[in-house]
Amino acid sequence: MSNTAEELARADPQAVPGLGLSLAVLTVSSLTVMANATISPSLPGMVRTFSHVPGIETLAGLVLSLPSLTIMLTAGLFGRALERTNRRNLIIVLLFVYALGGASGALANSIWGLLAGRVLLGIAVGGTMTLATTIVGDRWHGAAQQRFMGLQAAAMAAGGVIFVTVGGWLADVSWRGPFLIYLSALVLVPLCLAFIPPYPAAPRPTAETAVTERFPWRVFAGIALLTFFAMTMFYLIPTRLPFLLVEIGVHSPSATGYAIAAMTVGSVTTSLAFVRIRRRLGPRTIFAIAFILMGCGYAMVGIAESYVPVVCGTTVAGLGLGLTFPNQMSWLMAQVPDGMRGRSAGFLTSAIFGGHFVSPLLSGAFKPILSTSEIFLLFAAALVVCAAFTATPRNLSR
């Protein structure tokens, strides 16, 4: 059979990957970043159901963010494993864990059962996202890599549009409904069996090169810090927007899904344009522009008094979000040795989901003294300040 995973594994690493591998990576990617936000429309209903549980508002936020903590702790381990493990077998196992952990929330009869399922989901997402990013680093190079990472970010955003919108519809019926969406991972099993390459395309480092190669921690730290900040700011939308909408009189879970989906629609636009933007601007400049767009969007949400301005604000913020993922990934992959792509992707995945985990804790710390609208304005100000620092002449080197 042509274009099978075995043939791809033996192929020239510089060759352009086929359609099958491209589809496999893009669809797996669509399961990852928005995996948590899929159940965002369920949060108010979940809080009502478990209102007898002490600290339920905090625990409900943890249901949303706990996978991020699990991913943060495990993605680096997956990154090292991917440099020497059969990737095809691993991704199949992870897809089943994703479906099991995610869908378990539809049946869990306690908040603790919900949290246990979210831990399993986090393990699966940490592995699938690290694997998808590592394969892109292996198989695509130069401008082709930047173009594909733009497509990858767009696939993630498109997955978010579908999952969050459908999640909102299902949450109108029952807050447990959105958990069933995670079963969609099982549909990808045949595609991954056929096209995910079992081992890296790039030659493994020899003992001699392993001595001379060092992980570029200094470069990674700068990229990871910007990534962590961007993701901390981004996750204000899925964790606080449902409650802001209730405060302004919008109680429909599907309306919450549409507002969050509008952010991902905006991100698709800039993700698809990333390769053209990157030809003209350096990665720091792109981060600065992304922060400004996100800050403007959050300011619009913060001052909104009705639903339509909120949707406009999330769309503008999405334009900035769409630049962050392909920018951070392509920037890092251009800086690391070939034999270290797996751990690089794993470490950066930890930074991404570390931001997701910290975000509700940070916004929650301000909740006793600020309204939800004021928290959005505070985050908007933080984004603009960070954009100004990132955009200083010293930092705008390519």
Please indicate, yes or no, if residue 228 is contained in any of the structural domains: yes
By the 8 A CB rule, do 46 and 105 touch? Answer: no
Query: What is the span of the domain harbouring residue 363?
Result: 12-201+216-395
How confident is the model at residue 215, as a pLDDT?
73
Please indicate, yes or no, if residue 386 is contained in any of the structural domains: yes
By the 8 A CB rule, do 238 and 110 touch? Answer: no
How confident is the model at residue 393, as a pLDDT?
56
- Greatest Cα-to-Cα distance within the chain, rounded to the nearest angstrom: 65
Q: Which CB contacts under 8 angstroms, 24+ apart, belong to 42-45?
A: 42/167, 42/171, 42/175, 42/176, 42/177, 42/178, 42/179, 42/253, 43/175, 43/242, 43/243, 44/175, 44/242, 44/243, 44/246, 44/251, 44/253, 45/171, 45/174, 45/175, 45/253
Please indicate, yes or no, if residue 3 is contained in any of the structural domains: no
pLDDT in tens, 46-57: 888 888 888 787
Please indicate, yes or no, if residue 210 is contained in any of the structural domains: no
- pLDDT tens track, the chain, 398 positions: 344 544 544 444 445 577 889 899 888 888 876 677 788 788 888 888 888 888 787 787 778 778 888 888 888 778 777 767 788 899 999 999 999 999 998 998 888 999 999 999 999 988 888 888 888 877 887 778 878 888 888 888 777 778 878 888 888 889 899 899 999 999 999 999 999 888 765 454 444 444 456 777 888 888 999 999 999 999 899 888 988 998 999 888 888 888 988 998 899 899 889 989 988 999 999 999 999 999 999 999 999 999 999 999 999 999 999 999 889 988 888 887 767 777 788 888 889 888 988 888 898 889 889 999 999 999 999 999 999 988 765 554 44
Summarize the chain as % helix, strand, coil (round to 5). 80, 0, 20
Indicate which CATH number applies to the domain containing 308.
1.20.1250.20
Q: Which residue has the tokens 């080197």?
A: 397
Please indicate, yes or no, if residue 224 is contained in any of the structural domains: yes
Please indicate, yes or no, if residue 37 is contained in any of the structural domains: yes
By the 8 A CB rule, do 390 and 269 touch? Answer: no
pTM, two decimals, is 0.78
By the 8 A CB rule, do 30 and 191 touch? Answer: no
How confident is the model at residue 201, as a pLDDT?
57
How confident is the model at residue 16, as a pLDDT?
57
Please indicate, yes or no, if residue 176 is contained in any of the structural domains: yes
Please indicate, yes or no, if residue 4 is contained in any of the structural domains: no
The count of structural domains within the chain is 1
Q: What contacts 119, CB < 8 A, 6 or more positions away?
A: 66, 67, 70, 101
